[in-house]
Amino acid sequence: TTPFLPQKPKSELVRTSLRLLTSSAYRLQSECKKTLPVETCPTTDIQLVTQQVIQCAYDIAKAAKQLVTITTKENNN
């Protein structure tokens, strides 16, 4: 398959957005694991975990929007 973006993008904006997307995805995975019965311990604050999941999802959406905006502008030039 052809990647959506180059492996080593030249644009700093693209690199920044990709870093945010990647780090947020890892954080989301980590936070979601905390809700699994095996991972959950009595001190797990589900409300805090829920807020972290929401924040991660927001960051992913933000990074995706940035990438779409950047690539759309680049493709229109």
User: Using CA atoms, how far apart are residues 14 and 65, in angstroms rounded to an integer?
Assistant: 11
- pTM of the prediction? 0.72
* Contact by Cβ (8 Å): 33, 15: no
Domain ranges for the chain, please list them: 12-73
Confidence at residue 2, expressed as pLDDT on a 0 to 100 scale: 40
Counted residue by residue, the chain has a size of 77
Sign of CA dihedral 63, 3, 23, 14: negative
18-65 pLDDT tens trace: 889 999 999 999 988 888 776 667 777 888 989 999 999 999 999 999
CB neighbours (10 Å) of residue 41? Answer: 7
Question: What dihedral do alpha carbons 52, 58, 63, 68 form, nearest 10°?
Answer: 160
CATH 1.20.120.330 fits 12-73, yes or no: yes
